[in-house]
Amino acid sequence: MKKIAILGSTGSIGTQTLEVVRENKDIEVPGLAAGSNIELLEEQIREFRPRLAAVWSEEKAKELRTRVSDTDTKVLSGMDGLIAVSVMEETEILVTAIVGMIGIRPTIEAIKAGKDIALANKETLVTAGHLIMPLAKEKNVSILPVDSEHSAILQSLQGNDRKQVHKILLTASGGPFRGKKQEELLNIRVEDALKHPNWAMGQKITIDSSTMVNKGLEVIEAKWLFDVDVDQIQVVVQPQSIIHSMVEYMDGAVMAQLGTPDMKLPIQYALYYPERRYLPGERLDFWKLSKIEFEKPDMETFYGLKLAYQAGRAGGSLPTVFNAANELAVSKFLNREVKYLEIIEIIEDCMSVHQNILSPTLEEILETEAATYERIESRR
Ligand code: NAD
Ligand code: MG
């Protein structure tokens, strides 16, 4: 039996990971952690019987403890709870399906404890890749991507020498506002931005996909996962989300992974890597599929992507500013406190005043996050 723990088990990736667990009969789940949805977490506890569960707020944890007092599951809370679930003795893989850079500390602790990481939580790698990748190497731990593009890249690298990679072609759907110009985005409402053409995902990443900040985060994520320069990564808009990403080699050969949009494939691939397993679901039908289109990304309208390249090139603490500013700006947009276009204006403003720290420690990353939040809060 394979044993995994999941941070963010009630979210989009978390629940799909549990579907993969259900479909395969050889995975146990000794640890689950979630933010606040204790109703769903209770159901998951009853079904998967974990030894540990964690909820962010102590108040919710208390309520959950009462609800599941008839089970053997111990309920913890806060950062201590997240870390306890991340380092459990019996688990081999930690699935980081939590959203935001709050995942940094638990991920680092899990690597120190020798756990392989099935990484969905891109914000962690974007902000702390320079700490995580060397640590993983030192601890002989694998960081396996759960992002569809990065999983496609990993699949396209199989059987080839990584030294012969010329560039990475990171595909993007372009989101719901592809083809629009700035003036058409002035009055975008939360409901409009939450309509992704191809993928059903958590709210934060859905907004990020609409601004193309998600693609920017993925460029930096790819830089760390595959040890390439950001300028070796080219974003290619492919609106149908059929090609999940590609790798171009020195001789000009391009390898790609194609498929229907279903996150269960990257999740299952990460959990069983390098083995492939049967996965039920829709298949690509090339007789019905009439065309696959390609476009250059519009980095003037969606200049969050341009800012991501800038942050990724500079490295240091600038990617933390890019990410932290986006996290807070998006949550403010979701709360209808800022307008759609302000998301990117806020990121640009925070980046423009930041004094870059070249190789920030974990403390400096967290301080940079706090300083970025402070600047945003004092904007008006
Ligand atoms: P989501 O909002 O659906 O789920 C987030 C999960 O994290 C929830 O279970 C929530 O309870 C938990 N969480 C949030 N704050 C927490 C806290 N303080 N303590 C404990 N748990 C907390 O998000 P999602 O779409 O599943 O995305 C998760 C991560 O995966 C993100 O980093 C996202 O960028 C990445 N990702 C998602 C998809 C997708 O298809 N959804 C694809 C690629 C990458
Ligand atoms: Mg992705």
Identify whether the C-beta of residue 99 lies closer than 8 Å to the C-beta of residue 204.
Answer: yes
Q: How far apart are CA 131 and CA 59, in angstroms?
A: 33
- The answer, yes or no, to whether any atom of ligand 1 lies below 6 A from the CB of 33, is yes
From the CA of 99, the nearest ligand is 1
Mean pLDDT of the chain: 97
Å from CA of 145 to ligand 2 middle: 10
Residue 205 CA, ligand 2 centroid: distance in Å: 9
Closest ligand to Cα 11: 1
Report the pLDDT value the prediction gives residue 199, as an integer from 0 to 100: 84
Query: Mutation test of ligand 1: which of 77, 125, 201 has the most ligand atoms closer than 8 Å to its C-beta?
Result: 201
The gap from C-alpha 63 to its chain's centroid, in whole angstroms, comes to 29
- Predicted pLDDT of residue 124: 98
3-state helix, strand, coil in the chain (%, to 5): 50, 15, 35
Whether 14 lines ligand 1, by a CB cut-off of 6 Å, is yes
What token pair was written down for 145?
A: 């991507």
Best residue for ligand 1 mutational test, from 16, 99, 127, 214 (most atoms within 8 Å of Cβ)? 99
How far, in Å, is the centroid of ligand 2 from the Cα of 73? 33
Q: How many CA atoms lie within 13 A of 232 on its CB side?
A: 19
At residue 193, φ and ψ (nearest 5 deg) are -70, -20
CA distance 287 to 296: 26
Residues belonging to the chain: 380
Q: What is the DSSP string of 346-377?
A: HHHHHHHH----SS--HHHHHHHHHHHHHHHH
- Residue 99 CA to ligand 1 center (angstroms) comes to 4
User: What are the tokens at 292?
Assistant: 């696959």
- Measured CA to CA, the distance from residue 235 to residue 218 in angstroms comes to 10
Distance 335 CA to ligand 2 centre (A): 24
Probe target for ligand 1 pocket from 15, 37, 147, 205, with the most ligand atoms within 8 Å of CB: 205
- Which pLDDT does position 181 carry in this prediction? 97
Residues forming a β-bridge with 243: 258
Residue 151's nearest CA partner among 110, 111, 122, 115 is 122
Q: What pLDDT is recorded for position 262?
A: 96
**Alpha helices (H) in the chain, listed in sequence order:** 12-23, 38-48, 58-67, 78-86, 104-112, 122-138, 148-157, 190-193, 203-211, 213-226, 264-272, 304-314, 318-334, 342-353, 362-377
Residue 215: how many other CB atoms lie within 10 Å: 25
pLDDT at 351: 98
Sign of torsion, CA 319 258 118 14?
A: positive
pLDDT by residue (tens digit) across 248-273? 999 999 999 999 999 999 999 999 99
Q: Measuring from atom 42 of ligand 1, which residue has the nearest CA?
A: 147
pLDDT digits (tens, 9 = 90+) for 287-321: 999 899 999 999 999 999 999 999 999 999 999 99
Q: Which atom of ligand 1 is nearest to the CA of 34?
A: 21
Which atom of ligand 1 lies closest to the CA of 36? Answer: 11
Give yes or no for residue 96 CB within 6 A of ligand 1: no
pLDDT of residue 380: 67
* CB of 13 closer than 6 angstroms to any ligand 1 atom: yes
Q: Whole-prediction pTM value? A: 0.98
- Tell me which ligand sits closest to the C-alpha of residue 150: 2
Say if ligand 1 is within 6 A of residue 35 CB. Answer: yes
Q: Computed from CA positions of residues 115, 278, 51, 106, in that sequence, does the dihedral angle turn out positive or negative?
A: positive
* The one-letter amino acid at 319: P
**Axis-axis angle for helices 318-334, 304-314 (nearest 10):** 150
What's phi and psi for 254, nearest 5 deg? -115, 125
99 lines ligand 1 (CB under 6 A): yes
Two structure tokens written together for 350: 């925070």
Identity of the amino acid at 10:
T
Mean pLDDT per block of 10 residues along the chain (380 residues) reads 98 98 97 98 98 98 98 98 98 98 98 98 98 98 98 98 97 96 96 90 97 98 98 97 98 98 97 97 93 96 98 98 98 98 98 98 98 93
